[in-house]
């Protein structure tokens, strides 16, 4: 308990006199993290009603999920949409980030602002506008439609991550590579890209999650055979509440956690 | 490369060729941004402009301002805006009250502990907002965990109506928005020079005085950026009020969706959308003037 | 490594403006084949911009750059075949030492056995034999610099460019590396352009120095001539220590404080001129010596012991203040009259230079 009387900072305030601060911080941290985790044990509940903690444990809702054509179809759609969104948005964002980093100046700032607007505009408007356009283009309820719509939501995220990495990257390395005989593209691929690897991997993961987690646009744009997990989940929440939703939620939490952990583990630069 | 012949009489040899090279390089770099730019323009900007044009058309296709007139006349629309601002302002205030202390403690932690706690902040951030909203639905319902514990510990006797109302929605929105506040504030706090607090202590400032005179002002840019992001994003909330509000909390987004899904009233929805976007852009503009757009753009993302 | 045929460089009317500021102002420069030329100047003088234009990383507004007979000003950097060493080394951290050095050879399609041989040879040349397997973060500053050097010369470029490569090293290491770079240059004979703001470094290493300020070449000469005969006030002040006196030129004679001064370069114009002299070139004369030409009388106002030399501050008859630098041993100290006492100084005719009126 001697720790309590030790100074916590340069101003010599002790840990003891700040305990209320630590308690508050702990409470807020718990508030942030615990509620989401409630869903996981619930998915193993035997009961038909939403209850926590579950009185009896069972895998029946997982079985129900695996036996449901609709849910499996939705799962496939969500994963496919996520993967395709990543394939579209990450290269586009990478190219744009590099171009903007080289251009600098007023035009670069304007283009950057335009590319970031999809996350500033209220997402409901994006949803209904895209739906309105898709009705005329016959893209409603199509996978490609979902991918295109999610891509414009993912591009700003990927762009910000990669642009930030490029800003703190030492460009003289690419210059040296060019002086040694590599043209711009080769220098970028051989020297710059390996060094912003972490940012690109992060951008990939975040693009995927942006699509995978997305609700509002998917509500309007996906449907029929190409309905996403989130869309089905939202409708299920409004109509009838069954614990299969807990199962879906658990799966989504696991996917997010694994991807984020993977990005942290594999994206870091190697140390010798 | 072939040897160029110099212009011996001019004092600006190769000027035209060099200017051409500079222009060409600029066009290539602009070209790199073109695919992303085209996608955003075609899929989002054009449709939104198209959509907004609907707000100016009456049902028979002629130019009309009746949708906007109805926005001003019908009191139900006013209710939507009031609720929207209430939720946004309250969410921002509560997020600041809860998030600033947490960010402060995180900024003081040693690197390992801070990394761990940051993961704890980032994980909900990247978990679907629908999953988190659903979790609150479960927790806050009449037979939910909160009520069970409250009653079991004798804090209250009747199950509280914590969900399908304003309070439930607010709890959900604060939960979703907290990381958006914490991350920019934390980032700014980490960049505060520790020796400044040393100097303050050296000059005789008490801990409280040093905090309010030195630390807090320096953390203000991050706090303002976070608060603005939270406010702007809160304006556009749809899912959380829809799920946790039980129909009683109708923010502007919910009204827009209703107007389309139930009434097929594209004109009204479009007009409402124009107003919502205008409000959002005004706040963004004010924020950009106050803080510098680059700070905001680098500080967060949307759910 | 073998002898590489190096190239002369011809720069004509090179101009680069950023808004109203001229980073380069119609620069003309000729670099001889195989020469070690230093671009010397304060920060913002344009020396680095000039180097970057030679490398192809900065596009000038106009001008011509020839490597030998080839016009390269519009040539992409990766086609110029110059070796470049940056101030921060710019080594590739995701490759080991050997891979870094092999990089330009791989790009040129050299066979692997040949690559290995040349990499080993380059490492030997910079005295880092056997370091091939090391990783960049295992190397010290001086070692990293040598790897950067090896990488820049392994493909036998005909021109080498260096941008303040030693400024990140500490003093002793820097001085050792200066000699090593000089030795390497003598061995390889490649045309080298070296950028620095350190005048001592420039004097040590160069065949010729180009003093640059405000985007213009102030003077281009061998180190000795730059030091002994600065072309204008800027060069005089930037290199070595200097003091300036206002003298009158009339009827073929230069006069100061009633006495004649014999100078190295008598100007054609008459009137008020600036005389430049170096503190270490003044001799302290015995008070009894006869008054002849090139004798200055003054009063000692201060005396500072600076380790290897003694610095005297002297106020001359007309009020101007100059410094005198002399040996700090006992004999040197004995010669100095105390503070407040009169002092008689002598100046060799070859050490007195008249500077042009415009000052430079």
Tell which of A170, A181, A189 to mutate to test the C interface (max C CBs under 10 Å): A181
Q: How many structural domains does chain C have? A: 2
Same domain, C276 and C248: yes
Q: How would you classify the pairing of strands C271-277 and C216-221? A: unpaired
Contact A179 C88 (CB under 8 A): no
Tell which of A125, A174, A240, A245 to mutate to test the B interface (max B CBs under 10 Å): A125
pLDDT of residue A269: 56
Same domain, C184 and C199: yes
Lowest mean pLDDT among B172-181, B287-296, C46-55, C84-93: B287-296
Encode pLDDT of A51-92 as tens digits.
666 777 888 888 888 888 989 999 999 999 999 999 999 999
Q: What is the mean pLDDT of chain C?
A: 89
Q: Which residues of B191-202 are buried (b: 16+ CB within 10 A; e: fewer)?
A: eeeeeebeebbe
Distance, in angstroms, between B22 CA and closest chain C CA? Answer: 7
Same domain, C182 and C324: no
| Contact status of A175 with chain C (Cβ, < 8 Å) | yes
| Contact status of A191 with chain C (Cβ, < 8 Å) | yes
Same domain, C89 and C230: yes
Query: Which of chain C's residues have a Cβ under 8 Å away from the Cβ of B11?
Result: 13, 26, 62
| Contact status of A218 with chain B (Cβ, < 8 Å) | no
| Contact status of B286 with chain A (Cβ, < 8 Å) | no
3-state secondary structure of C10: strand
Phi-psi region of A152 (alpha: psi -120 to 50; beta: other; left: phi over 0): alpha
Contact C90 A269 (CB under 8 A): no
In this structure, are residues A110 and A175 in contact, taking their beta carbons and an 8 Å threshold? Answer: no
Work out the angle between the directed axes of helices B129-140 and A229-239 (0-180°, nearest 10). 20
Choosing from C234, C253, C278, the residue where a domain stops is C234
DSSP letter at C350 equals G
CATH of the domain at C123: 3.40.50.300
pLDDT of residue A267: 61
| Contact status of A187 with chain B (Cβ, < 8 Å) | no
Phi-psi region of C344 (alpha: psi -120 to 50; beta: other; left: phi over 0): beta
CATH of the domain at C282: 2.40.50.140
Query: Which of chain C's residues have a Cβ under 8 Å away from the Cβ of A191?
Result: 92
Across residues A153-167, what is the average pLDDT? 94
Report the candidate in B184, B128, B122, B102 with the shortest Cα–Cα distance to residue A33: B122
Lowest mean pLDDT among A69-83, A199-213, B147-161, C11-25: B147-161
Distance between CA atoms of residues A138 and A132, nearest Å: 10
pLDDT of residue C291: 66
Distance, in angstroms, between A133 CA and closest chain B CA? Answer: 6
H/E run at residue C152: helix C141-153
Indicate the residue of B1, B6, B18 with minimum beta-carbon distance to C61.
Answer: B18
Contact C77 A194 (CB under 8 A): no
pLDDT of residue A240: 64
Tell which of A47, A129, A185 to mutate to test the B interface (max B CBs under 10 Å): A129
Backbone angles phi, psi at C63, to 5 degrees: 135, 175
Report the candidate in C181, C186, C150, C147 with the shortest Cα–Cα distance to residue C3: C186
Choosing from C175, C207, C234, the residue where a domain stops is C234
Distance between CA atoms of residues A138 and A116, nearest Å: 27
Q: What percent of chain C has pLDDT over 90?
A: 57
- The residue extents of the domains of chain A are 2-60, 68-239
Distance between CA atoms of residues B291 and B164, nearest Å: 37
In this predicted structure, the answer to whether residue A50 has a pLDDT above a threshold of 50 is yes
CATH of domain A68-239: 1.10.3720.10
3-state secondary structure of B64: coil
Chains with 3 or more CB pairs under 8 A to chain B: A, C
Lowest mean pLDDT among A92-96, A181-185, C354-358: C354-358
User: Token pair 């006492």 is at which residue?
Assistant: C341
| Contact status of B102 with chain A (Cβ, < 8 Å) | yes
Both tokens assigned to A233: 């989940």
H/E run at residue C150: helix C141-153
Chains with 3 or more CB pairs under 8 A to chain A: B, C
ipTM passes above 0.85:
yes
In this structure, are residues A108 and A166 in contact, taking their beta carbons and an 8 Å threshold? Answer: no
| Contact status of B57 with chain A (Cβ, < 8 Å) | no
Report the candidate in C86, C214, C215 with the shortest Cα–Cα distance to residue C151: C86
Contact C79 B13 (CB under 8 A): no
Distance from chain centroid for Cα C17: 24
Encode pLDDT of A108-148 as tens digits.
999 999 999 999 899 999 999 999 899 988 888 899 999 99
DSSP C173-214: HHHHHHHHHHHHHHHH--EEEEEES-HHHHHHH-SEEEEEET
Encode pLDDT of C209-255 as tens digits.
999 999 999 999 999 999 988 888 899 999 988 888 888 888 778 88
Indicate the residue of A32, A122, A164 with minimum beta-carbon distance to B178.
Answer: A32
Distance, in angstroms, between A6 CA and closest chain B CA? Answer: 14
pLDDT of residue B164: 87
Interface of A with B in 49-108 (CB under 8 A): 49-53, 88, 92-93, 95-96, 98-100, 102-103, 107
Both tokens assigned to A52: 């926590």
Size of interface B-C (CB pairs under 8 A): 49
Both tokens assigned to A175: 């210059």
In this predicted structure, the answer to whether residue C1 has a pLDDT above a threshold of 70 is no
| Contact status of B47 with chain A (Cβ, < 8 Å) | yes
Max Cα distance, chain C (Å): 78
Indicate the residue of B1, B21, B22 with minimum beta-carbon distance to C70.
Answer: B1
In this structure, are residues B98 and B174 in contact, taking their beta carbons and an 8 Å threshold? Answer: yes
In this predicted structure, the answer to whether residue C329 has a pLDDT above a threshold of 50 is yes
3-state secondary structure of B291: helix
In this predicted structure, the answer to whether residue C336 has a pLDDT above a threshold of 90 is no
| Contact status of C308 with chain A (Cβ, < 8 Å) | no
Indicate the residue of B54, B122, B207 with minimum beta-carbon distance to A11.
Answer: B207
Q: Which residue of B has its CA nearest to C80?
A: B1
Which stretches within chain A are classed as H helix?
19-42, 60-67, 69-103, 105-120, 123-137, 143-167, 172-179, 184-187, 193-195, 197-213, 216-221, 229-239, 244-267
Lowest mean pLDDT among A83-87, A92-96, C176-180: C176-180
pLDDT of residue B112: 86
C138: Cβ–Cβ under 8 A, 6 or more apart, which residues?
A272
Q: Which residue of A has its CA nearest to B145?
A: A52
Tell which of B120, B127, B228 to mutate to test the A interface (max A CBs under 10 Å): B127
| Contact status of A183 with chain C (Cβ, < 8 Å) | yes
Regions of chain B where pLDDT drops below 50: 1-4, 7-9, 296-303
H/E run at residue B132: helix B129-140
Chains with 3 or more CB pairs under 8 A to chain C: A, B
pLDDT of residue B195: 85
| Contact status of C59 with chain A (Cβ, < 8 Å) | no
Q: Which residue of B has its CA nearest to A31?
A: B175
Contact B15 C13 (CB under 8 A): no
Interface of B with A in 216-275 (CB under 8 A): 232, 235-236, 238-239, 242-243, 252-253, 256-257, 260, 266, 269, 273
Query: Which of chain B's residues have a Cβ under 8 Å away from the Cβ of C69?
Result: 3
Q: How many CA atoms lie within 13 A of C357 on its CB side?
A: 9
Full domain range(s) for residue C116:
3-234
Q: In what order do the strands lie in the sheet with C70-71?
A: C21-31, C9-18, C62-67, C70-71
Choosing from C219, C234, C249, the residue where a domain stops is C234
pLDDT of residue A9: 67
Lowest mean pLDDT among B46-60, C74-88, C140-154: B46-60
Q: Which residue has the higher pLDDT, A5 or A199?
A: A199
The answer, yes or no, to whether the previous bond of A53 is cis (omega within 30 of 0) is yes
| Contact status of A251 with chain B (Cβ, < 8 Å) | no
pTM, full prediction: 0.87
Same domain, C258 and C309: yes
Contact B120 A99 (CB under 8 A): no
Query: Which of chain C's residues have a Cβ under 8 Å away from the Cβ of A198?
Result: none
3-state secondary structure of A125: helix
Distance, in angstroms, between B158 CA and closest chain A CA? Answer: 18
pLDDT of residue C240: 87
Strand partners, C248: C255, C272
Long-range contacts of A65-73 (CB under 8 A, 24+ apart): A65/A244, A65/A247, A65/A248, A68/A244, A70/A227, A70/A232, A71/A229, A71/A232, A71/A244, A71/A248, A73/A225, A73/A227
Same domain, C39 and C71: yes
pLDDT of residue B301: 32
| Contact status of C94 with chain B (Cβ, < 8 Å) | no
Distance between CA atoms of residues B81 and B250, nearest Å: 9
| Contact status of C145 with chain A (Cβ, < 8 Å) | no
Same domain, C188 and C247: no
């Amino acid at each position: 308990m001697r720790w309590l009387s030790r100074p916590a900072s340069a101003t010599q305030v002790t840990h003891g006199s700040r305990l209320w601060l630590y308690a508050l911080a702990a409470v807020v941290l718990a508030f942030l993290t615990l509620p989401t985790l409630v869903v996981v044990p619930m998915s193993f509940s035997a009961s038909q009603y939403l209850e926590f903690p579950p009185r009896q444990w069972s895998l029946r809702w997982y079985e129900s999920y695996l036996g449901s054509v609709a849910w499996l179809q939705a799962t496939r759609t969500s994963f496919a949409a996520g993967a395709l969104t990543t394939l579209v948005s990450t290269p586009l964002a990478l190219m744009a980030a590099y171009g903007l980093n080289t251009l600098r100046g007023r035009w670069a700032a304007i283009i950057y602002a335009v590319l970031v607007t999809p996350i500033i505009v209220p997402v409901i408007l994006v949803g209904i506008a895209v739906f309105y356009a898709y009705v005329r283009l016959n893209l409603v309820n199509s996978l490609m439609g979902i991918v295109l719509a999610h891509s414009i939501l993912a591009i700003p995220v990927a762009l910000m991550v990669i642009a930030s990495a490029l800003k703190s990257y030492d460009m003289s390395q690419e210059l040296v590579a060019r002086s040694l005989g590599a043209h711009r593209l080769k220098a970028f691929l051989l020297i710059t890209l390996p060094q912003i690897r972490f940012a690109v991997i992060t951008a990939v993961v975040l693009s995927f999650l942006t699509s995978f987690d997305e609700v509002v646009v998917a509500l309007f744009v996906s449907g029929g055979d190409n309905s996403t997990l989130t869309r089905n989940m939202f409708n299920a929440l409004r109509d009838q509440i069954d614990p299969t939703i807990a199962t879906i939620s658990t799966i989504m939490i696991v996917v997010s956690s694994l991807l984020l952990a993977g990005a942290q583990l594999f994206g870091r630069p190697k140390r010798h | 490369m072939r040897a160029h012949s110099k212009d011996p009489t001019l004092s600006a040899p190769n000027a035209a060729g060099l200017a051409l090279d500079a222009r060409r390089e600029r066009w290539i770099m602009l070209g790199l941004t073109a695919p992303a730019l085209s996608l955003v323009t075609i899929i989002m900007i054009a449709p939104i402009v198209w959509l907004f044009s609907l707000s100016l058309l009456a049902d028979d296709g002629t130019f009309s301002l009746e949708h906007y007139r109805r926005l001003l006349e019908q009191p139900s629309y006013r209710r939507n805006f009031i609720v929207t601002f209430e939720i946004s302002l309250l969410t921002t205030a509560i997020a600041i009250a809860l998030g600033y202390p947490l960010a402060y403690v995180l900024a003081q932690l040693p690197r390992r502990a801070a990394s761990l706690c940051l993961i704890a902040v980032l994980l909900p951030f990247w978990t679907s907002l629908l999953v988190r909203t659903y979790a609150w639905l479960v927790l806050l319902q009449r037979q939910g965990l909160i009520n069970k514990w409250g009653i079991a510990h004798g804090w209250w006797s009747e199950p509280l109506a914590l969900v399908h109302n304003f309070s439930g929605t607010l709890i959900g929105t604060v939960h979703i928005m907290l990381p958006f506040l914490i991350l920019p504030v934390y980032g700014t706090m980490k960049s505060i020079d520790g020796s400044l607090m040393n100097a303050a202590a050296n000059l005789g400032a008490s801990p409280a005085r040093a905090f309010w005179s030195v630390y807090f002002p320096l953390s203000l840019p991050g706090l303002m950026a976070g608060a603005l992001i939270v406010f702007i994003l809160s304006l556009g909330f749809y899912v959380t009020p829809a799920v946790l509000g039980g129909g009683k909390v109708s923010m502007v987004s919910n009204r827009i969706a209703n107007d389309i899904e139930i009434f097929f009233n594209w004109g009204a929805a479009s007009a409402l959308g124009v107003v919502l976007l205008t409000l959002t852009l005004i706040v963004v503009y004010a924020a950009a003037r106050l803080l510098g757009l680059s700070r905001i753009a680098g500080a967060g993302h949307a759910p | 490594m073998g002898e590489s045929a190096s190239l002369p460089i011809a720069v004509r009317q090179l101009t680069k403006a950023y808004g109203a500021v001229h980073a380069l102002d119609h620069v003309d420069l000729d670099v001889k084949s195989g020469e070690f030329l230093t671009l010397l100047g304060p920060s913002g003088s344009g020396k680095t911009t000039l180097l970057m234009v030679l490398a192809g990383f900065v596009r000038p507004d106009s001008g011509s750059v020839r490597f030998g007979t080839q016009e390269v000003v519009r040539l992409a950097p990766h086609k110029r075949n110059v070796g470049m060493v940056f101030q921060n080394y710019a080594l590739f951290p995701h490759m080991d030492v050997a891979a870094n050095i092999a990089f330009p050879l791989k790009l040129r399609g050299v066979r692997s056995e040949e690559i290995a041989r040349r990499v080993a040879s380059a490492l030997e040349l910079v005295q880092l034999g056997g370091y091939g397997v090391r990783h960049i973060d295992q190397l010290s500053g001086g070692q990293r610099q040598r790897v950067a050097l090896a990488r820049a010369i392994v493909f036998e470029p005909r021109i080498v460019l260096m941008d303040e490569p030693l400024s990140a090293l500490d003093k002793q290491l820097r001085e050792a590396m200066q000699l090593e770079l000089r030795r390497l240059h003598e061995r390889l004979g490649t045309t080298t352009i070296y950028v620095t703001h350190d005048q001592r470094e420039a004097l040590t290493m160069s065949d010729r120095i180009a003093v640059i300020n405000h985007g213009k070449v102030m003077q281009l000469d061998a180190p000795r001539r730059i030091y002994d005969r600065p072309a204008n006030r800027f060069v005089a002040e930037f290199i070595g220590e200097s003091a300036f006196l206002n003298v009158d030129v009339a009827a073929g004679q230069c006069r100061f404080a009633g006495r004649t001064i014999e100078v190295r370069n008598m100007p054609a114009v008459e009137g008020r001129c600036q005389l430049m002299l170096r503190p270490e070139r003044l001799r302290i004369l015995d008070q009894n010596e006869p008054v002849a030409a090139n004798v200055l009388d003054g009063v000692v106002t201060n005396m500072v012991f600076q380790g290897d030399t003694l610095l005297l501050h002297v106020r001359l008859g007309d009020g101007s203040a100059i410094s005198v630098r002399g040996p700090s041993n006992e004999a040197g100290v004995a010669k100095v009259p105390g503070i407040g006492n009169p002092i008689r100084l002598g100046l060799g005719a070859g050490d007195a230079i008249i500077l042009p009126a415009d000052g430079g």
